[in-house]
Structure 1
Amino acid sequence: MKLPGYYSSGEFAAKAHITKKTIRYYDEHHILKPSFVNENGARFYTDEDFARLQQILFLKYLGFSLDDIREMTMRNGDRSFLSESLHMQLGLMEERLEQMQLMKQALQEASESVDHGDQVDWSHMLQVVNINEMEQKLKNQYLNSSNISARINLHKEYTANQQGWFPWLYEQCHIRSGDTILELGCGDASLWLENQERIPQNVRIILSDLSDGMLRDVRRSIGTDDNRFCFDVMDAHQIHMPDQSVDLLIANHVLFYCENLQQVFREVKRVLKPGGVFICSTYSEQHMKEISELVREFDDRIVLSADRLYERFGKGNGKALLEKEFSHIQWVQYEDYLNVTDADALIAYVLSCHGNQNRYIVDRYRDFRAFVKKKTDKGFYITKDAGAFIVKR
């Protein structure tokens, strides 16, 4: 019987210009599952599955292995995945083009050196044309972008506080015309993209991150014609700014990743002007606790984060750590909670975490989705206990 809006596996393969054998392989290896399987085992696909297949074929074209692709596309059930996926694919393609241009330049320089009888720096050239390293960087960049989007989207879609985290955090900054602002670990720059119209024109904003690929994504998102922004690959332990040159320094959910917090604080103190402000956000052990409880109920081997980050720099101990370098410290609470009613959004968040969850979910994805769907049918309450320390130099 033909289901309205569905394609049989044969129709789907024909429209996608691939073989039924490939479709079956993707199904068996949990890369692309059918949207519906009837009681006779017949598989059916939808237009959304074409979008997912497009993403798979694109990543395959870029050279990623099927194991990589499975990991990179596992959160595709999220409602917002299509727009984000296309945006990230565009970023990957631009990144690949930039890297290929560097390879072309290296080959031209080597060819010219050989033609002129000069010595070629083969070590440097091999480093430039290292395909494996290039693909790993692209994969990490894609996963980082995808993970950040999944975490932000859950908060954005299901927050009780309609103001939203980034508009709230922006208000804590009290930005003035003429300020020099530095953000450490800017990620995808949501703080600035969500408040772009509120930022004064006469400011200088330096966005920094450890990932040069992330910064290239951010530069594309903000646009090259906004001269308020500049970008710098930077480690918080060694800030590329002169002494007493920054009016406002922001570290949004970043400090608990730093190896030597006191070194970071010394650097922050060094670059802040007298009267300058340091805003550093974090959370407590209660924050999002229900999600960890949920996955442990499904499989008690799952740990969403190997490190309890709030123990390194959290709401409970942050002030004591900051007091070793600063005197004027205030905690500001962000009042909020989540009520999640969509299983796919919650699953996307779980898969974005820095733990071992993929090891135990990937082969039981259907079971996990059914488990989460049952939990979210009537709304799934999640505690939020986060805010920011406002520190004055």
Structure 2
Amino acid sequence: MINEGGKMSLLKEQYSDSKNFMARVELGRRFRTNPYSWLLWVFDQIQFPKDARVLEIGCGNAILWKANINRIPEDAHVLLSDFSQGMLDDARKVLGDAELRFNYEVMDAQEILYPDNSFDVVIANLMLYHIPDRKKAISEISRVLKRGGTFYATTFGINDMKELRDIISNYDGEIYYSAEPFARAFGLENGEEQLRQSFDHVQLVNYENSLEITDAGPVVDYVRSFGKVNQNLKGHNLKDFENYLEEILKKDGKIKVTKDTGIFIATKPK
């Protein structure tokens, strides 16, 4: 079991830049069964008022905006923030010629240094469960939202990736992979309760998807992306793990994996 200090240390190591994050994105991108991508679907849910002031917390490498670059309203003012300067540097690289359309700021969601009623829209895409004091962060988000403003928070449920979790655990129970603790921190099952401490109206919309994995390599990269905790998974052990996955694929043809993701839409009263 990893204590809170260890979790934060691991988090800083994992997200010093976007390499580990992208290993996880790639697994979902390659083997999803829903032909309509998560990034497009999330953007579909966001309503931009005229001259919208938008804040994304934990923006990572800005792939949400890159995937939807031609759909961003011309009059929107978007601030991309992350606790990692390395992530913001990668965001600029990913956005390329479009980087000047955005502003960037290193920010702690637990202490948003903006006045009350500053933003029309706040977005937290697959990150709110990382925040140690979520109650404070959610309160801060509500504070900086204008009246009638909306907070969009994506997350996953307890059953997300459960088959892959079981396969990895059966191979070696010491391998740290499971994202289940994050879902228990802020997931589909308990996110509404947490948001309602600061928002009166909260709606959950689910994204229908699953994975059908046919290649062991991306799974290996995915598990290794969880960082130094899995530093023993290299060399001979790494090859043995890959062989283990390949035997499963040879026997079953594919690994079918549950995906359980969605978005909470929380609106501040006018």
What TM-score results when the alignment is normalised by the length of structure 2?
0.88
Residues 254 and 169 from structure 1, CA distance in 2 versus in 1: closer, same or farther, beyond 3 angstroms? Answer: same
Q: What is the alpha-carbon distance in structure 2 between the residues aligned to residue 328 and residue 203 of structure 1? A: 24
Residues 187 and 387 from structure 1, CA distance in 2 versus in 1: closer, same or farther, beyond 3 angstroms? Answer: same
Q: Which amino acid aligns with 2:28?
A: H
Q: Percent identity of the aligned residues? A: 36
Q: Which amino acid aligns with 1:350?
A: V
Report the counterpart of residue 386 of structure 1 in structure 2. Answer: 261
Residues 142 and 209 from structure 1, CA distance in 2 versus in 1: closer, same or farther, beyond 3 angstroms? Answer: closer
Report the counterpart of residue 30 of structure 2 in structure 1. Answer: 157
Contact 2:15–2:84, Cα closer than 8 Å, also in 1: no
Task: Pick 1 or 2: higher relative contact order, CA cutoff 8 A, min separation 6.
Answer: 2
Report the counterpart of residue 248 of structure 1 in structure 2. Answer: 121
Q: Report SS of the residue matched to 1:359.
A: coil
Report the counterpart of residue 219 of structure 1 in structure 2. Answer: 92
Q: Report SS of the residue matched to 1:153.
A: helix
Q: Shift of residue 348 of structure 1? A: 1.0
Q: Shift of residue 201 of structure 1? A: 1.3
Residues 226 and 216 from structure 1, CA distance in 2 versus in 1: closer, same or farther, beyond 3 angstroms? Answer: closer
Report the counterpart of residue 4 of structure 2 in structure 1. Answer: none
Contact 1:177–1:201, Cα closer than 8 Å, also in 2: no
Report the counterpart of residue 5 of structure 2 in structure 1. Answer: none
Contact 2:13–2:227, Cα closer than 8 Å, also in 1: no
Q: Shift of residue 366 of structure 1? A: 1.5
Q: Which amino acid aligns with 2:204?
A: W
Q: What is the alpha-carbon distance in structure 1 between the residues aligned to residue 204 and residue 214 of structure 2? A: 31
Give runs of aligned pairs for residues 1-393 of structure 1, distance below 5 A: 140=13, 144-223=17-96, 226-305=99-178, 308-353=181-226, 356-377=229-250, 378-393=253-268
How many pairs align?
255
Report the counterpart of residue 6 of structure 2 in structure 1. Answer: none
Q: What is the alpha-carbon distance in structure 2 between the residues aligned to residue 387 and residue 225 of structure 1? A: 28
Q: Shift of residue 296 of structure 1? A: 1.3
Report the counterpart of residue 33 of structure 1 in structure 2. Answer: none
Which is greater in Rg? Answer: 1
What TM-score results when the alignment is normalised by the length of structure 1?
0.61
Residues 140 and 318 from structure 1, CA distance in 2 versus in 1: closer, same or farther, beyond 3 angstroms? Answer: closer
Q: Shift of residue 330 of structure 1? A: 0.4
Q: Shift of residue 144 of structure 1? A: 3.9
* Higher-helix-fraction structure: 1
Residues 358 and 350 from structure 1, CA distance in 2 versus in 1: closer, same or farther, beyond 3 angstroms? Answer: same
* Higher-strand-fraction structure: 2
RMSD: 2.0
- Deviation track 1:66-123 (CA, whole Å, cap 9, x = no partner) reads xxxxxxxxxxxxxxxxxxxxxxxxxxxxxxxxxxxxxxxxxxxxxxxxxxxxxxxxxx
